[in-house]
Amino acid sequence: MMYLKIMDIHNIVEKYAPSILKESYDNVGLMVGDMECRVTSILVALDCTLKVIEEAKQNNCNLIFTHHPLLFKRPDSITSDNLLGEKIIKLIESHINVYSCHTNLDSAEGGINDIIVELLGLNSDDIVDPIKTESRPGCKDGIGRISQLEEPIILSELCNRVKKYLEMSSLRYVGNEFKLIKKVAVINGSGQSYFNKARLQGVDCIITGDTTYHYVSDFEEQGMAVIDAGHFGTEWPAMEKVAVFLQKQIKSLGFENSVVLSKINRDPYKYK
C-alpha cells in the first residue's frame, strides 16, 4: 500500500512555489521532521504557535504546514528555557513535522499575493519586484502585484473594499480619503521595503501590512496613499485557499489524507 509522505508534500510545493523563489534572508521547507515520515492529516496555519501545536495533536495531524518559518536562523541551543526551544521539543515529543512555505509562496504566480489580489477583485497586471528563473519560463513570479483599476475609485471606497473582502473590522490608512486611486500595489505581509519600487512604477496606493510611522509619513508627503490592513489581515485569507489547493493536490495523487485549516491561529493584535 502507498502512503502519503512529507516528501510528497514537498514535491507538491516545489511545483507550486519552488524554493528557488524565496528571498535570500528566508528559510523555507521542512523545519522539523523527516521527509520519509507517513502523513496522517495536515494542519494549515500562518504561524507554528504552541496553541497550533496542541491543535495539531487534537486533530491527529502529524504535519503542520505554515506560511511563516518556525526557524528563521539556526538556534544556538534547543532548550525549554526559551519559546522556540519549547516548541521544537514539543513537536519532536509529539512526532509532529513542520513544513514552511514563506516568501516563495508570496512570490509564486498563483501564490499568496495573487490570491489576495483576486480576493480584492483586482487584476495582477504587473509585478513590483519580478523574479526571473530559467526553471519557470513565462511565469509571473516576484514580490508584490500592481493592478491598473478599470474604474478609478476614491481612497475611502478602496479602504471599504479591503475591509469587506479581507473580512476586517478595521484598518489604518494614509492619504486624503477623496484621493482618486487609479493604480494599486498589493504587497502581502510586510511590504515597506518595496514601497519605493512601487512608487517609481506610478502607483497611487499601496495595500500592505506592518507599516511604520516615519516611513508612511514620508510617502504621504510624496503623494502616496497607503492602506495598512495588517500582516495577518493580508495573509490569512489566502491560507484558506492554500489549504484547498493542498487538499486537491493530495487527492489527485490518489490519497485521502485530510487538510485542516487552523481554527485558533489568530491575529495577535486586538482593536477597540
Binding residue ranges: 67-68, 106, 231, 235
Question: What secondary structure does DSSP assign to 91-115, as a single string?
Answer: HHHTT-EEEE--HHHHHSTTSHHHH
- Residues making up the annotated binding site for a divalent metal cation are 67-68, 106, 231, 235
Question: ∠ CA 160-68-97 to the nearest 5 degrees?
Answer: 135
Nearest to 239 by CA among 188, 190, 193, 171: 188
Q: Hey, is 161 helix, strand or coil?
A: helix
Q: How far is the C-alpha of 13 from the C-alpha of 249, rounded, in Å?
A: 10
E-only strand ranges, the chain = 29-32, 42-45, 63-66, 97-100, 126-131, 141-154, 172-174, 180-190, 205-209, 225-228, 259-261
Q: What is the CA radius of gyration of the chain?
A: 19
Question: ∠ CA 260-261-267 to the nearest 5 degrees?
Answer: 155
Distances (CA, A) of 31 to 6, 11, 71, 251: 12, 15, 6, 24
